[in-house]
Amino acid sequence: MKKFFEDMADEWVRMMTEAISTKPYSEQEKGVADIILRELEKMGVEGIRDDAGNVVGIIEGEEGGPTVLLDGHMDVVPEGNIDAWGEFDPFKPVVKDGRLYGRGTTDMLQGVFCQLFAFREIKRYVDKGNSFKGKLVFTAVVNEEPAESMGAIFLMDETLPKLGIKPDVCYLSEPTCGNLYIGQRGKVELVVDVFGKVAHSSAPWQGISAVEKARPLIDAIMNNFYKSPVTHEKLGFSAMTITDIEVSPGRMYSCVPDHCSITIYRRYVPPMTIKDTIKEIQDFIDYQSKADPEFKAEVHQRINTRTGYTGHAMEVKKQHPAWIDDPDNPYVKRSFEVLRSIGQDPEECYFIGGTDGSITCGVHNIPTIIYSFGDLNKSHKAQESCCIADEMMEIEGHTALICDSLGIDINAIG
């Protein structure tokens, strides 16, 4: 690694510390957005804050080249049990033994600020009188952690089209331990409402218990509808589980429940789609309704309303569409080659969880390559931390990937 990138460590730590200290929970990312806008202004780049609260910065090159999108999310998950953090305060970051401790140090403020530093190097390159063909777009989005991609949806559906931007490739900086992730299983949260007839619990035969009627459905879900799971050679296998069951009238009342709501998390792989996952449950409902005329149920996707720190509200589905890059895509192939050329050794990997790649690639078909040195094994956990030296390698890696995509000689940087 160039000493040039190693020397960024103190400034990077200061900026990360400031950002984490703002407690950027989902829908409360304004502090981080303000820091990024300030840094863009220092670079001489016009920072854009869209209605959802996302931040965008653009470096324009000459015509005839690709549009490269850098993307990451600004929100972090809650700290959880504070006692589990021991000597560390999740929102007062400290450095110990070469690691920065605090909430968001791996998922994923480290990725956002590594990309911002790499973006700055390209601006400095241009400011020296150099040019490149294409366009470099830096984005930091809101509200990713609720697993609905509100910020990414607004960015891709509204903000970038209004700016006339259509990316050719997206580099997403979720934690990958230095590897390249080029796909993920799909995810959807489904709700099945089973209906009965309320009655006094002293005479249950006078009612129809929604819990009793839900039992065959629960068994079927827990046994994958008595079928082998669909598998994919790269993304693994489909799976589902019940994460919540709500009954009403509930424990306060002496009643036979007439409503049982079952929440299902479904992970799926191609060739399955979200529609297929819904149909799978609907088919069982139809079957059970014929077998038992008293069985009545409905299935639908979970839809939530999210309101960002700007006050903008959106209805969003609880889902992450499945996606996978073509391994022969030139950006994918070159990404491995470029990182290896600077001494890194990325492996080809695939997420089992969800990312905003579901929007960039799964919905908009933009080749999406996920890369950072954030540690997946520390995401969302107490005592979350990152290795500062690794993050300097990440800044170099992002810079190298950008340079290669835009036809810039990495040796001209610094």
* Domain presence at residue 311: no
Which residues on neighbouring strands pair with residue 59, listed in sequence order?
A: 136
Domain boundary residue, one of 235, 270, 305: 305
* Domain presence at residue 101: yes
* Domain presence at residue 315: no
Say what the pLDDT of residue 252 is.
Answer: 86
Domain count, the chain: 2
Does one domain contain both 228 and 102?
no
Domain boundary residue, one of 280, 305, 330: 305
Does one domain contain both 168 and 196?
no
pLDDT category of residue 25 using cuts at 50, 70 and 90: very high
Q: Are 369 and 331 in contact (CB under 8 A)?
A: yes
* Domain presence at residue 221: yes
pLDDT, tens digit, 9 for 90 and up, residues 244-292? 999 999 888 899 999 999 999 999 999 999 999 999 999 999 999 999 9
Say what the pLDDT of residue 327 is.
Answer: 86
Which residues on neighbouring strands pair with residue 261, listed in sequence order?
A: 193, 246
* Domain presence at residue 114: yes
Say what the pLDDT of residue 1 is.
Answer: 53
Tokens of 401: 């990937």
pLDDT more than 70, % of the chain: 100
Question: Whole domain around residue 144: which residue ranges?
Answer: 3-184+322-412
Does one domain contain both 112 and 124?
yes
Give me the mean pLDDT over the 141-168 stretch: 97
Does one domain contain both 341 and 209?
no
Say what the pLDDT of residue 348 is.
Answer: 97
Say what the pLDDT of residue 414 is.
Answer: 81
Domain with residue 385: its CATH number is: 3.40.630.10
Does one domain contain both 16 and 159?
yes
Residue by residue, DSSP assigns 173-222 as ----TT-EEEEE-EEEEEEEEEE-B-EETT-GGGSB-HHHHHHHHHHHHH
pLDDT, tens digit, 9 for 90 and up, residues 297-354? 999 999 999 999 999 999 999 999 999 999 899 999 999 999 999 999 999 999 988 8
User: For residues 63 and 70, what is the distance between their CA atoms, to the nearest angstrom?
Assistant: 19
* Domain presence at residue 317: no
- pTM for this entry: 0.94
pLDDT category of residue 175 using cuts at 50, 70 and 90: very high
Domain with residue 199: its CATH number is: 3.30.70.360
Does one domain contain both 110 and 133?
yes
Calculate the average pLDDT of the chain.
96
Does one domain contain both 297 and 191?
yes
Domain boundary residue, one of 305, 331, 359: 305
* Domain presence at residue 115: yes
User: For residues 388 and 17, what is the distance between their CA atoms, to the nearest angstrom?
Assistant: 12
Does one domain contain both 233 and 336?
no
Does one domain contain both 236 and 193?
yes
Does one domain contain both 124 and 268?
no
Closest CA to 139 of 130, 126, 153, 152: 152
Q: Is the pLDDT of residue 72 over 60?
A: yes
Does one domain contain both 51 and 71?
yes
* Domain presence at residue 72: yes
Task: State the chain's maximal CA–CA distance in angstroms.
Answer: 85
pLDDT more than 90, % of the chain: 95
Does one domain contain both 173 and 292?
no
